[in-house]
Structure 1
């Protein structure tokens, strides 16, 4: 019985599933790998789509909402007098090269790009990143747009890498879970005297 036939029978035939315990463990491992692959594909596209949509939103925000700017010597410089604010739901985005504190927004959740740092507030936690820590050199608006263009060009490769990582993680978790359940199952098999291998294969 091929692993594809086995997959089909496992959906509707418990009797055939009980016979799987007599097959070689290598075939069972292939079967598990196939199941993990099937569950990985939609998850990979979900993660990839989420990343692509997020990058697209950032790109649109940079092009439409932000003026030309430059980060140099740890300071953000842009030719605006009033802060740019954008609110979506409970999240607030602020671009303000003229201030260094967020007292005005301390009860808000969101991302705040200030004169000397980037501040992220969410779930009651505040994360602060100075430009000196984030950047080793100067950065302009065009540099960000160029980076996003590069990201778009390598997106298929990135999607493949994400898929491999998700698949390997799924395999690890699945094999770990099966191994633990097999130990428990063999200990509880009672008079049936099922071997550890048979329980693992089941």
Structure 2
């Protein structure tokens, strides 16, 4: 059975998922990569669209609306007593040399570029990319430098966007593997309580398919740009319920 048929079956059939415990690990890993790619498609679309559409607005704002500033010795310096917020049509620029706004406050925003006291953030399509000024030794940046940099970035977007997409995919895949590995550990406990003959490699395989339904649900919500309250809890709850139903489909050990 190919991964596309497995994908459909994994949405509704714990019995079929139970049969996948015997398949090769390579096919299961391939399925995880496929599921990860599917899950980040909405984020990649929104991120690339926001990045491209917002570049012109950002360049104009830097020229006309931002005060004179300099980034030196790992800090943003400007003659401002409070953060400055510039709202555009689909984008927001946050300029804060005061240190009032932190990383956590900005990470909850949508389509935002933030120049904070110690770092710069780009939030688009639900993804956050950060750059600490202190990462580069002797890093200095002024208004004119930023204008030149933005012009260079705009011309390089056809190269930069795919590279960022690859980074997002690698991070998302890593998180998915961690999620599945932890779920498989819980599966070991469940199978012992239910007296089912499974080893970790079996629970890992079925756990990989058990996350299909919650992953698809949150992918749809992301495509609709709808925030699900307590999303992480719902994700784990649904995956655990499916894993439990899968393990129930596996024959129990015969008692001697």
Q: Which TM bucket (shorter chain)?
A: 0.5 to 0.7
Alpha-carbon displacement from aligned partner over 1:150-190 (angstroms, at most 9, x marks no partner):
11111122111111111111111111121122122113213
1:87 is matched with none
Give 1:101-180 correspondences, 5 Å limit. Answer: 102=81, 105=82, 111=95, 118-122=97-101, 127=117, 135=140, 139=142, 141=144, 143-180=145-182
Q: Which residues of structure 1 form unaligned runs of 5+?
A: 72-95, 113-117
2:215 is matched with none
Q: Distance in 2 between matches of 1:187 and 1:40?
A: 31
Greater gyration radius: 1
Q: Which residues of structure 2 form unaligned runs of 5+?
A: 71-77, 86-93, 106-115, 120-137, 207-256
Alpha-carbon displacement from aligned partner over 1:80-120 (angstroms, at most 9, x marks no partner):
xxxxxxxxxxxxxxxx8xxx563xx49x87636xxxxx445
Secondary structure in structure 2 of the residue aligned to 1:167: helix
1:39 aligns with 2:56: no
Q: Distance in 2 between matches of 1:188 and 1:162?
A: 39
When residues 57 and 179 of structure 1 are mapped into structure 2, their CA distance, relative to the original with a 3 A threshold, is same
Contact 2:80 2:98 in 1 (8 A): no
When residues 140 and 189 of structure 1 are mapped into structure 2, their CA distance, relative to the original with a 3 A threshold, is closer
Alpha-carbon displacement from aligned partner over 1:106-157 (angstroms, at most 9, x marks no partner):
9x87636xxxxx4453259x8379xxx7527xx564x443322211111122
Q: Distance in 2 between matches of 1:28 and 1:34?
A: 10
Q: Distance in 2 between matches of 1:70 and 1:197?
A: 56
Contact 1:119 1:128 in 2 (8 A): no
When residues 189 and 58 of structure 1 are mapped into structure 2, their CA distance, relative to the original with a 3 A threshold, is same
Contact 1:40 1:163 in 2 (8 A): no
Higher strand fraction: Structure 1 or Structure 2? 1
When residues 66 and 7 of structure 1 are mapped into structure 2, their CA distance, relative to the original with a 3 A threshold, is closer
Q: Distance in 1 between matches of 2:118 and 2:181?
A: 43
Contact 2:184 2:200 in 1 (8 A): yes
When residues 120 and 48 of structure 1 are mapped into structure 2, their CA distance, relative to the original with a 3 A threshold, is farther
The TM-score, its normalising length taken from structure 2, stands at 0.52
